[in-house]
Homo-oligomer: A and B are copies of this chain.
Amino acid sequence: MSEAAIAETRPYHHGDLRRALVDAARRILENEGPSALSLRAVAREAGVSPAAPYHHFKDKGELLDAVAHVGWDMLGDCMTGAKARAADLAALMTEIGVSYVQFSQQHPALYRVMYDCSRDKDELPEGMQDNEDSAYCLVRETFRRVAGPEVQEVDIELATIAAWCAAHGLAEMSTFKQFEGLKEGLGGEEAFLRGVLGHLGMFQPSRPLKT
């Protein structure tokens, strides 16, 4: 049920309009895609006037930042789950990569908002490199555990970035129609993902880090 439907019984002061707006935005993203995500549409969905959001967000960009933040949290949970599922350390990187791309396929509109926000500011999401539960830190920590003592810290950082770039690139391209034939030949979407990731050094269990 949309918020607008229950708006009539709602008190004049909403109580938690900020959260309601973020939820409304996520509903629109899921149901109608990123192109339908206007500030006015979000306000409509939440059952308030077009100006109401401005008491909780500086502008549209700040609302999208809040939506993106929810997305990054979800992605972090998703990859923590992958960590729990991995049979052993050698398989962990591949599980993380597959989970990352699958998340982007399950929430394509949200994933797009997440990256658009980052690109607009030329910044990784806040806390991404510090917060222990973030996807970035999970990958880096995995490399640290895999790496022998001869591997330098800078190479761990570079490998993390490389893995991130590869996963993001695959996330953005895996939906291209031209690859459908190849996917069928390989036996499905996940086989395709594992096939591509298998060609990226750090996702190969036998050689996760450059020597």
Binding site for B on A (CB under 8 A): 112, 115, 118-119, 122-124, 128-129, 154-155, 157-159, 161-170, 172-173, 175-179, 182, 185-186, 195-202, 204, 207, 209-210
Contact = CB atoms under 8 A, between A and B. Distances in A.
Nearest to A182: B157
A204 B196 CA distance: 16
B162 A115 contact: no
A195 B159 CA distance: 9
A119 B177 CA distance: 10
Given A182-B154, A200-B200, A165 B161 contact: no
A179 B199 contact: no
A178 B125 CA distance: 10
A207 B155 CA distance: 18
